[in-house]
Amino acid sequence: MIDYRAYLQKKGYTETTIENYIKQVQLFIKWCNRNHTTAIDIDYKDCLKYIKYLQRKGTTKKTVNHRLGRVKVYLNYLVEENFKSENPIESTTIKGVKRIVNYNLLEADELEDLYYSYETENIKDQYHRLTAKRDRIIVGLMVYQGLSTTNLKALEVRHIEVYKGKIYVPGHKKMNARELELKPWQVIELLEYIKEIREEIKQRRKVESERLLIPNNARLSNTITNIIKKLKKTNHKVENINQIRASVITNWLGQYNLRKVQYLAGHRYISSTERYLQDDLENLHEIVNSFHPIA
């Protein structure tokens, strides 16, 4: 397990998570041994037997999916190390796990309107005009690239590839890194921001930082909270940055296949992306029940 531990460390998992993953894999390997197979030789049919074994133990569907996810990571490791030719359960999940009910999502045109409606010009105070332009860039990264607060905090100037029209979003323990396309108008505004606006904000704030987005105070999350308050005035449906991200991901699912959306969203597991799939009848039923429960 030494090599596998190093693999997980390289992927950015915390030590606590690594211990949990290794424990689950060891249990999986023991099951394989009892059933006259190995993790290297196991095929889809035997994997189904393992899933049934977990289900017979009274494990909930959600827990089975979690344990299956840890086995998937291990099998992916074996594939990457050329011990296996493929992962037989790469796209396997247990049906029946409750999905996110996204009942207050924003359409693509509503998201874009948040960006274009964000005021940056008719502001008397020069510094506030500068920060408004920074904030509009944040809104753009939220509504076009679906970035989370954690993503926005991690961005540095070097992550913007202006001349390629792309942005590199660093990964962290819960999310994969990815490279995303920028809209042409985002590129233009980012050029101005990096060369002029950001420098002036740094001088005003008297800070030296490689961070792309210099906040009004020590916490970018406070800046984002203020942005959301302004966005609510544009569209009363706006709730928070998580809702905006969920809207972006759901809209992507209407345009691209599941794997591409998984990459765009930075999800470690395909099951995370699947939770955003919209089943209109299922969602309608859940929404009605949540507001009008049957006694």
**Tell me, what CATH number does 240's domain have?**
1.10.443.10
Q: From residue 85, give the alpha-carbon distance in Å to each of 7, 15, 24, 39, 89.
A: 18, 28, 22, 12, 12
The answer to whether residues 245 and 149 belong to one domain is: yes
Tell whether 195 is covered by a domain: yes
Tell whether 214 is covered by a domain: yes
What are the tokens at 135? 């904030």
pLDDT tens track for 51-103: 888 888 766 777 888 888 899 999 989 988 888 888 888 766 655 545 554 55
For residues 34 and 232, what is the distance between their CA atoms, to the nearest angstrom?
A: 58
The answer to whether residues 176 and 228 belong to one domain is: yes
pLDDT tens track for 220-250: 989 999 999 999 999 999 999 989 999 999 9
Tell whether 93 is covered by a domain: no
The answer to whether residues 44 and 163 belong to one domain is: no
The answer to whether residues 38 and 154 belong to one domain is: no
The answer to whether residues 262 and 136 belong to one domain is: yes
Task: State the residue range of the domain holding 36.
Answer: 2-80
Domain end (from 35, 63, 80): 80
Q: Where are the alpha helices (DSSP H) in 206-240?
A: 220-234
- Please answer whether residues 61 and 97 qualify as being in contact, where contact means their C-beta atoms are separated by less than 8 angstroms: yes
The answer to whether residues 10 and 69 belong to one domain is: yes
Tell whether 89 is covered by a domain: no
The answer to whether residues 135 and 247 belong to one domain is: yes
Tell whether 72 is covered by a domain: yes
Tell whether 237 is covered by a domain: yes
Structurally, the chain folds into a number of domains equal to 2
At residue 56, the pLDDT reads 83
What are the tokens at 180? 């995303």
At residue 32, the pLDDT reads 95
At residue 96, the pLDDT reads 53
CB burial of 163-199 (b: ≥16 within 10 Å; e: otherwise) equals eeeebbbbbeeebbebebebeeebbebbeebeeebbe
Tell whether 100 is covered by a domain: no
Tokens 């050329």 sit on residue: 82
The answer to whether residues 198 and 242 belong to one domain is: yes
For residues 62 and 69, what is the distance between their CA atoms, to the nearest angstrom?
A: 11
Tell whether 293 is covered by a domain: no
The answer to whether residues 56 and 179 belong to one domain is: no
Tokens 């507001």 sit on residue: 291
Among 53-62, 121-130, 160-169, 193-202, whose mean pLDDT is lowest? 53-62
The answer to whether residues 151 and 76 belong to one domain is: no
The answer to whether residues 69 and 112 belong to one domain is: no
The answer to whether residues 175 and 265 belong to one domain is: yes
At residue 279, the pLDDT reads 46
Domain with 39 in it: what CATH number?
1.10.150
Q: 0.85 cut: is pTM over it?
A: no
**Mean pLDDT in residue range 128-151:** 96
